[in-house]
Amino acid sequence: MKHLPAHTIQVAGLQKHYVVHEKEPGLAGSLRAFFHRKTKLVQAVAGVTFTIDPGEMVGFLGPNGAGKTTTLKMLAGLLHPSGGSVDVAGFTPKERRAAFLKLITLVMGQKQQLLWDLPALDSFRVNQAIYEIPDDEYQATMREFNTILELEGILKKQVRKLSLGERMKCELAAALLHRPKVLFLDEPTIGLDVNMQVRIREFVAEYNRRFQASVILTSHYMADVTALCKRIIVIDKGQIVFDGDLGELTERAGARKVISVELARLVTLERLASYGQVQSVEGLRARLEVPRQTTSSTAARLLAELPIADVTIEDPPIEEVIGQMFGGHRPATADMVRAQEPQEVGS
């Protein structure tokens, strides 16, 4: 090989700040704001630096308002940086050149680009024309998407009559029809049921494999990220607080699982607490945090020893994981419960 593959995305010291106007509530506040507008500078992205290689899939994690979406929008050319530099596939995104736009895509939740009153197929035709996709490439892509996403039967239905999941599949297909090399996926599975989340995930993985596309994914669902990305970038307050291997991150923070139980009858909190850290109690429902390694044995013991009606095991919510990781604070509910012991669980 003559040279190593260049980075697909190169970001250095990227910043974005906004000036926001502040207004106190009420009429008096409005009047005051009319004459004296108070402004505040908000640092949405405060200098982030990273590179992403061809074919690499990276998960962006961070609490709401951390700057994930703002960063993605700058990478896609929608927002102009306040400072620093961005290079995506050799282009400066904010120039929005046609050749650049043909190489990228940005999928934002359910922001629709499909025409509401027509079958999705019509929107696809529009995209085919706009992206100047030759007929045989279009046919080939559609055949592949049909198989992976199971679009058969929903392409000819009016978009407004599709279910949320069906619509999301079509949105994704429309966004990837031109076979972009760089994918920015902002919460692509939000609001979807678990089956559909899995289907979308598989599609993204398959697309990445087939087209060697670079992917940046943000998600609230830990499962999305763990299933797809080896590398994780955690953003908090506009800055990168972690950039590395997924395994390392889960070791550092996600080494715990949450067992939710629904009890058939009352049990003392003390007894419950012997299985793990009680996070919250609500009627006959309780949430316990346990070390990842002992999750299944603890769940088995719970089932055997307590009057359990239902049990589910899940990852702690991503915001909690990150909160614990960097702030070291626990959810308030757990402290409240602990302060009140001993008491009986249930009403």
Partner 1 sequence: MKRMVATKYRDTGRPSKARTLLEVWFANMSAYRAEIVIWMLTGSIPLIMLAVWIGKAQAAGGAVGDFTPQRFAAYFLAAWVSQQLVVAWVAWELDLQIRQGILSAKLLRPLDPLWEHLAMHVTERLVRVPLAIIVIVVGLFIVPGTQLTPDLPHALLYLLSINLAFLIRFLIAYCVGILAFWFEQAIAVEELYYSIAMFLTGSFAPLDLYPVWARTIIEWLPFPYVIYYPVQILTGEANGLEIVRIIAVQLAWITIFGVLRSLLWRRGLRRYGAVGA
Q: Under the rule (CB under 8 A), what is the footprint of partner 1?
A: 6-8, 10, 18, 73, 76-80, 87, 89-91, 94, 96, 98-99, 101-106, 108, 111-113, 115, 117-118, 122-123, 125-137, 178-179, 181
What is the Cα–Cα distance from 296 to 53, expressed in whole angstroms?
A: 37
Cβ proximity to partner 1, 56 vs 289, nearer residue: 56
Cβ proximity to partner 1, 52 vs 272, nearer residue: 52
Q: How far is the CB of 240 from partner 1 (least distance, A)?
A: 21
Matching residue, tokens 């919250």: 280
Q: Write phi, then psi, for 276 (nearest 5 degrees).
A: 175, -175
Q: How far is the CB of 80 from partner 1 (least distance, A)?
A: 4
Q: How far is the CB of 58 from partner 1 (least distance, A)?
A: 18
Q: How far is the CB of 183 from partner 1 (least distance, A)?
A: 12
What is the Cα–Cα distance from 227 to 194, expressed in whole angstroms?
A: 13
Amino acid identity for residue 347 in this structure: S
Count Cβ atoms below 10 Å from residue 131 Cβ, excluding itself.
16
Q: How far is the CB of 168 from partner 1 (least distance, A)?
A: 14
What is the Cα–Cα distance from 35 to 336, expressed in whole angstroms?
A: 46
Amino acid identity for residue 209 in this structure: R
Cβ proximity to partner 1, 90 vs 327, nearer residue: 90
CB 104 within 8 A of CB 76: yes
Cβ proximity to partner 1, 3 vs 332, nearer residue: 3
Structural element, H or E, at residue 85: strand 83-88
- Look at strands 231-236 and 239-245 and give their pairing: antiparallel
Cβ proximity to partner 1, 171 vs 320, nearer residue: 171
